[in-house]
Structures are given as C-alpha cells and as structure tokens.
Amino acid sequence: MVPAEVSRRDDDIDRQYWRGWVPEAPRQGHYQAEDDQLLMIPTNQMEENGANPQNHAWAVGTCPMWNCPNFWADPFEYRFERCVPTWEQEYLMGTIVAPEMSMVVVKSVSYEVISGLGQYDLFEFSMKDPILKDQWEDMIIDIGVPASDGKYVFASDVKPLPLEYHLDRNNRLSFFVKARGIVDLAGNSNHFPGEILNPNANFRLSVQGWLAPLRKNVDGAPRPTDLGNMEFANLDEALYLEGR
C-alpha cells in the first residue's frame, strides 16, 4: 500500500518564521481614486506621550452618492423643450434614462415659458417614473419682464426650484407639462381640457444634478462599488497573498 502523502509545509522553518508577515507596500504604485474619503475622522495622530499612532483607529466614512457627488460624478443639465397646443392637457416634455453604470441624482429644475401663456396663467409640471412622483405649478405674474427677472414666482430659467430625486440604473423618469390658465382657489381652470391654446405655448425645462457612477474608475476593469475597495490592505487579500 502506498503511504498517504503528508504535507511537509509545517516543517518549513523558513516559512514558519515569516508566517503572518504582510508586506507593507502595495504591489503597484499606481494612483487609486478613492471616492469615499469625504468624511475622514482624524484620529490617527501621534499622542503627546509618543504612543504609537498605529494604536489609534481611523476610518473612512462614506457619504451616499445620492447626497454627495464623488470625484468621478458627472454634472448634467438635461434640457427639454416642446410646444403645447391645448389647455388642460398633459404633454410629455422628455424622459431621462439612467444609464447602466450610473445613478441619476436630480437636485433641481428650472423652467421657462417662451410664449403662449398670458398674465396670471398657471402652468404645471409633473414628474413620473411612471407613477406620479411630484407635481408643482407656477404662475406668470408679470408678463412684461424676462423670465430671469421675476416673470414667475418660484423659479425661472436661472433660479432653480429644489427637487430631490434619484434614479437607479436603467430606470427612467419623465417630465410632463400642462397649461392651466387662471384657476380659482379649488384649482379649477377657466379652460376646458383640449381647448385650443392660441398662440401655442412653448415650455422649456432643464433638470440639474449629477450622474453618480456605480463602478469605480480604477485601473483595469471597472468594479462595482458594492464590492468595496480594491485595495491591498484587505485582510482576506493579505492572507491570500501570504498563501493561506
């Protein structure tokens, strides 16, 4: 009978001597972008009595990418424009589709009515994904001035209206507009749905925010941010390098 092969690894005195040793330096000196170093807790400083700073802990906090844009985030401003020919009917202005590798973070919108509506007329925007997420309205209070000079109450082409929303990847968000006319306290318009708006109204809407990348832009293959840092000083990885 052939004797079972016995591993001789434990007899290697050299290996036993270096067991547990972890090389200090990263394998490669390339720059690795950290997108989660926004909140650094500086507890890693030397104490007065000269204690080893390694005895202190420090941590890297993460600010969620829908609250803080990271280094690789791309600001965007989507602009939609369309003609609205009738009163009291909703028209699609445009749709944002979140790309495969990014989250769309919406922070504000601004808008402008180019023509068509008159003094005291209301207009209403809706946001659906596809259920109704938000709905806001504004009014032309002074037809004689430019939009940036107080033509509307709550926003204009240069004054954004705060709007917090984020779209996960591959989701879509649509914006609609409706010309309403003069309304009473209950919100009833003086126009009926489908009444011809003469001349046609032209709306412009821009949506501001940033695209938060869901993959890390490091050298080599992009890596989902869910998997954490692709760093050397990960204990599992260190043990793996050590050969265990």
Site residues (vs another protein, CB under 8 A): 19-22, 36, 39, 44, 54, 57-64, 66-67, 106, 119, 122, 127, 133-139, 141-144, 150, 153-156, 159, 161-166, 183-185, 187, 225-226, 228-229, 231, 233-235, 238-239
Cβ closer to another protein: 198 or 234? 234
Cβ closer to another protein: 86 or 110? 110
Q: Hey, is 226 helix, strand or coil?
A: helix
CB of 64 to another protein, least distance (A): 6
Residues 205 and 94 sit within 8 Å (Cβ to Cβ): yes
Q: Identify residue 84 by its one-letter amino acid code.
A: V
Cβ closer to another protein: 63 or 218? 63
Preceding omega of 130 cis (within 30 degrees of 0): yes
Residue 92: how many CB atoms within 10 A of its CB? 13
CB of 108 to another protein, least distance (A): 9
CA angle 243/20/239 to nearest 5° reads 40
Cβ closer to another protein: 88 or 134? 134
CB of 93 to another protein, least distance (A): 16
CB of 242 to another protein, least distance (A): 9
Residues 9 and 214 sit within 8 Å (Cβ to Cβ): no
Cβ closer to another protein: 47 or 194? 47
Cα–Cα distances in angstroms (integers) from residue 86 to residues 33, 43, 196, in the given order: 51, 63, 5
Residue 5 in tokens: 């092969």
Secondary element (H or E) of residue 91: strand 90-97
Cβ closer to another protein: 115 or 234? 234
Cβ closer to another protein: 96 or 155? 155
CB of 219 to another protein, least distance (A): 18
Q: State the chain's maximal CA–CA distance in angstroms.
A: 104
Q: Hey, is 201 helix, strand or coil?
A: strand
Nearest C-alpha neighbor of 212 from the set 161, 160, 169:
169
CA-derived radius of gyration, the chain: 29
CB of 147 to another protein, least distance (A): 11
CB of 161 to another protein, least distance (A): 6
